[in-house]
Amino acid sequence: SQTIHQWPATLVQPVGSPLSLECTVEGTSNPNLYWYRQAAGRGLQLLFYSVGIGQISSEVPQNLSASRPQDRQFILSSKKLLLSDSGFYLCAWADGTLLYEQYFGPGTRLTVT
Amino acid sequence: AQKVTQAQTEISVVEKEDVTLDCVYETRDTTYYLFWYKQPPSGELVFLIRRNSFDEQNEISGRYSWNFQKSTSSFNFTITASQVVDSAVYFCALSDTDSGGYQKVTFGIGTKLQVIP
């Protein structure tokens, strides 16, 4: 069966510091991968999605970036965090062929101070 | 453009009451998928159901049931005999493909359900 991991679970970072959130998927090949952000009490905002290694599409221009160095690894980064980057970050995967539902990881709660 | 509307932002019910969560969607595609997800306080989104645009048959899974009506572009979710464990935020979502052939999923803003014991 497939599983998706995210780490860290919780992170407190000062403004201006770098960020690296990691997501890995097990039990599937060539998945579509997604990064979402959820602000407190709000809906989901799609940040990036990837249909293959090195292929990244950005939905929202901002100081965040994403990379997919391996088939089942998706990384969200920032060189300098802003206060507005605080939120709950969710990684998700979907079958790259069927394009059905997305399955979500446990999320990372980021607080920028 | 895709759009998913969940008009109910928060609902409170007393345990054992039935509750229906509304979802209305917009899409120009003839082939699309609809989903419901549950987000408990822990934060992780849990997939509940998928429906494709060609299957309007209602579905029941235990205390959960879903009513899909293309004529009104609605995909409503009913919880029968609600329990405290049903307290969560519920998201409706729509998936179709964009002009580049990529899957695009649009989520509603969610309905927060509180079941009071």
In this prediction, residue B3 carries a pLDDT of 92
B42 close contact with A: CB closer than 8 A: yes
A42-47, long-range: CB within 8 Å, 24+ apart, which pairs? A42/B109, A43/B91, A43/B107, A43/B108, A43/B109, A43/B110, A44/A90, A44/B91, A44/B107, A46/B105, A47/A76
Q: pLDDT confidence of A97, banded at 50, 70, 90?
A: confident
Residues of B in contact with A42 (CB under 8 A): 109
Residues of B in contact with A107 (CB under 8 A): 43-44
* Mutation to test the A interface, candidates B33, B107, B109, most A Cβ within 10 Å: B107
Residues of B in contact with A102 (CB under 8 A): 47, 105
In this prediction, residue B69 carries a pLDDT of 94
Residue A61 confidence (pLDDT) above 70: no
Segment B16-23 mean pLDDT: 98
Segment A61-81 mean pLDDT: 93
Interface contacts (A, B; CB < 8 Å): 46
pLDDT tens for B71-97 read 999 999 999 999 999 999 999 999 887
